[in-house]
Amino acid sequence: MMDKPKTVIILGSSALKIGEAGEFDYSGSQAIKALKEENVRTILVNPNIATIQTSDHLADEVYFLPVKPYFVEKVIEKERPDGILLSFGGQTALNCGVELEQSGVLKKYGVRVLGTPVEAIVNTEIRSNPVVEVHQMGMAEAIDFGAMALFGEKYGERVRVLKMGHFSTELCGGTHVKGTGDIGVFKIISEGGVAAGVRRIEAVTGEGALQFFAEQQRRLDEAAELVGARGDDLAEKLRHLLERQRKLEREVDSFKSKAAGSTTSALADAALSIGGVRLVAARVEGLDGKALREAVDMLKDKFQDAVILLASGEDGKASLVAGVKGSALGRVKAGELLAHVAGQIGGKGGGRPDLAQGGGQDGPALLTALADVPAWVAQRLG
């Protein structure tokens, strides 16, 4: 479940004529009231002063700016909203929202589209099926016409402009549809940044989209079969399995902690004493890296001055954790001790002077390395 936004930006009914704005003005003003009742801060972008939306008592902040990506991004950068509403400013607001989404501005500032997703907006325009108009004109005329040039491409003096209803006007070398309805359906399958200020969105349409949906359905059916669920209760089944797994993991962690406690008591009793510093260097069974760290901490709690190195192995891999406490810290560093042992078993590691961890290959060399630790420590303790 998504958290309730703290601040929402509304792209308002920006038509210059009141009659053109009326169909969105009232619903937009009601949306602002509803948000304020939920203690959500509202930011309105609307250049039309003669609307209900821009009344003093409604939005917390009003920017009388054009509803265009450049100006809206500046407002987003200043106000840092959590969400944006596109449904109360007509086609201008929808077009602006789509461009902000496609250019990566919304993701850059962590703004999510509330209400109708951008993908649904695009599909609505596709279904409206306006005829694709083709115009030939000069570059300057095309920009004045509202055309959008993409990807920094270079264009000649005369350009080809495609206009699809009120939704899209672009410079384009060619198209394969006579009307947007020929596209069928639009589905975003991936998106990501490719350069500073440039975002790449990959989508499928038409037959490609149908194939994508069929493949997603096949995967859902396969997942449902694996966990013994029907398609309509797959999410609930997975949620139950994950909860069960987390419970089992907690139980395992509890058993490991108890095992670590039992192990440390025996190790503490067998600890060596070198120059007043207690030393433990041993291999223990059944403990993973996390449990080893707990065991080292438990042993450190038992001694005032200590040098400790514990190791465990599983599937041919060894885990190492070293700890140093008290007066020994001035002469022995946990990272150096761990590197000394790890180097003998083809591994490596590091950390702080008082705690370090690493690993290497499990085998006879590990026991040899552990047996060498007392001499190594004694040399440093002098």
**Residue 199: its pLDDT value, please?**
64
Q: Pinpoint the alpha helices (H) of the chain.
A: 18-37, 69-79, 90-102, 105-108, 118-128, 139-145, 206-226, 234-269, 289-302, 334-344, 364-381
List CB contacts of 206: < 8 A, sequence separation 6 or more. Answer: 182, 183, 184, 185
Q: Specify the pLDDT at position 326.
A: 92
- The pLDDT, as a whole number, for residue 291 is 83
Q: What pLDDT is recorded for position 218? A: 92
> What are the start-end ranges of the E strands in 300-347?
306-314, 317-325
Whole-angstrom distance between the N-terminal and C-terminal Cα of the chain?
A: 61
Tokens of 205: 């349409």
* Its pTM surpasses 0.75: no
10-residue averages of pLDDT along the chain (382 residues): 79 57 65 82 87 82 91 94 84 84 88 78 82 88 76 73 82 78 88 65 89 92 88 85 91 76 81 91 84 88 92 90 91 92 90 91 91 92 81
pLDDT of 265: 82
Cβ pair 100, 73 in contact under 8 A: yes
3-state secondary structure of 44: strand
Report DSSP letters for 253-298, one per residue. HHHHHHHHHHHHHHHHHT-EEETTEEEEEEE-SS--HHHHHHHHHH
pLDDT of residue 55: 82
